[in-house]
């Protein structure tokens, strides 16, 4: 009986010892991990954090390009508003892009132009004159060759001038290689409605107008490479102080909400997205790249910063 007790005790002792060893090893590992994971906050400098860019390139299927003969010139069509065309003390983004080798640029930019219409222009219902220069209305005119809205606005002395109209009529999508959609934060500042849960193509909304414009181009001119360029971070004057646009809500979300909605539509439609928002202008540098007094407008340094990023993006093969 004593021999049996001694023989049964040894396995239990060994198992208990192993358990104690395992527990000790785990404790030591946790102590080492905890010490290695400590970060002294004093060593981290403000403004040095990395940002994950949302840049992504979608190229047109090669079979489509092969079936659509083109010359060696990259014909770029730019749809946007004043940030693309403005040149405060230097070259505008349009000028910078035009300087690229073997590049021709056609632009339709207007100060009050924006992405979303005030009313649903998808069915051309109750479209006001000033909408004739908005994103979808320009795309619709180019795709259908129906310039009646723009002609009526011109005849009534509204919004566009003869030069704008003549250039619109003369533009042939068949000859365009790249479309850049580049609006600043005008829709955010005007509190455009973000989306319509009952009609995803409602062009009175930010998502609907962008989706309708992109899908129209893809349907009527599938050879065109579409690039959606995001707004940039800027400041907003609030009670005589400058605050980041990510902190101010004019009624339908802050600027980052519009940026992410735009990104989601670009991914849904499988078109390129040029991220001018994350990592270029930060809360620490927004006053460096934006004008005093009208903070949301880029100064010469800001135009150069965003313009250079767009140029680099245009030249990416993938």
Per-residue pLDDT reduced to its tens digit, 152-201: 889 888 778 899 999 999 999 999 999 999 999 999 999 999 999 999 99
pLDDT at 123 over 50: no
pLDDT at 226 over 50: yes
pTM of the model: 0.81
Which band of pLDDT confidence, cut at 50, 70 and 90, is reported for residue 138?
very high
Q: Is 86 within 8 Å of 92 (Cβ atoms)?
A: yes
240-292 pLDDT tens trace: 788 899 999 999 999 999 999 999 999 999 999 999 999 899 999 998 998 86
Which residues contact residue 109 at a Cβ distance below 8 angstroms, ignoring those fewer than 6 apart? Answer: 78, 79, 80, 81, 82, 84, 85, 94
Which residues contact residue 258 at a Cβ distance below 8 angstroms, ignoring those fewer than 6 apart? Answer: 185, 187, 188, 192, 194, 206, 231
The secondary element (H helix, E strand) that includes residue 79 is strand 74-80
Average pLDDT of the chain to the nearest whole number: 85
pLDDT at 209 over 80: yes
Token duo for residue 95: 């000028």
Token duo for residue 261: 């909605």
- Under CATH, which architecture does the 55-112+173-314 domain have? 3-Layer(aba) Sandwich (3.40)
Buried b (16+ CB within 10 A) or exposed e, 112-122: ebbbbbbebbb
């Amino acid at each position: 009986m004593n021999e049996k007790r001694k023989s049964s005790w040894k396995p239990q002792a060994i198992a208990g010892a192993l358990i104690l060893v395992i527990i000790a090893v785990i404790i030591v590992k946790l102590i080492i991990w905890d010490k290695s994971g400590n970060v002294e906050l004093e060593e981290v400098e403000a403004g040095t954090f990395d940002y994950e860019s949302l840049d992504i390139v979608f190229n047109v299927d090669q079979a489509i390009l092969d079936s659509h003969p083109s010359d060696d010139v990259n014909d770029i069509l730019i749809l946007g508003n004043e940030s693309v065309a403005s040149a405060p003390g230097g070259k505008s983004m349009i000028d910078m892009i035009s300087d690229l080798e073997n590049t021709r640029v056609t632009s339709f930019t207007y100060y009050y132009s924006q992405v979303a219409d005030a009313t649903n222009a998808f069915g051309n219902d109750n479209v006001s004159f000033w909408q004739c220069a908005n994103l979808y209305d320009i795309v619709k005119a180019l795709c259908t060759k129906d310039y009646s809205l723009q002609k009526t606005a011109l005849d009534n002395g509204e919004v566009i001038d003869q030069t704008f109209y003549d250039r619109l009529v003369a533009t042939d999508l068949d000859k365009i290689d790249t479309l850049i959609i580049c609006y600043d934060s005008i829709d955010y500042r005007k509190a455009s409605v973000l989306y319509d849960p009952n009609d995803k193509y409602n062009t009175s909304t930010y998502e609907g107008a962008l989706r309708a414009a992109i899908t129209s181009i893809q349907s009527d001119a599938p050879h065109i490479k579409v690039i959606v360029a995001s707004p940039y971070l800027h400041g907003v004057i609030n009670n005589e102080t400058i605050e980041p646009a990510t902190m101010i809500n004019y009624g339908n979300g802050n600027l980052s909400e519009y940026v992410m909605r735009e990104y989601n539509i670009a991914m849904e439609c499988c078109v390129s997205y040029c991220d001018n928002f994350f990592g270029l202008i930060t809360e620490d540098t927004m006053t460096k790249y934006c004008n005093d007094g009208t903070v949301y407008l880029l100064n010469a340094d800001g135009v150069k910063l965003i313009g250079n990023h767009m140029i680099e993006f245009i030249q990416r093969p993938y």
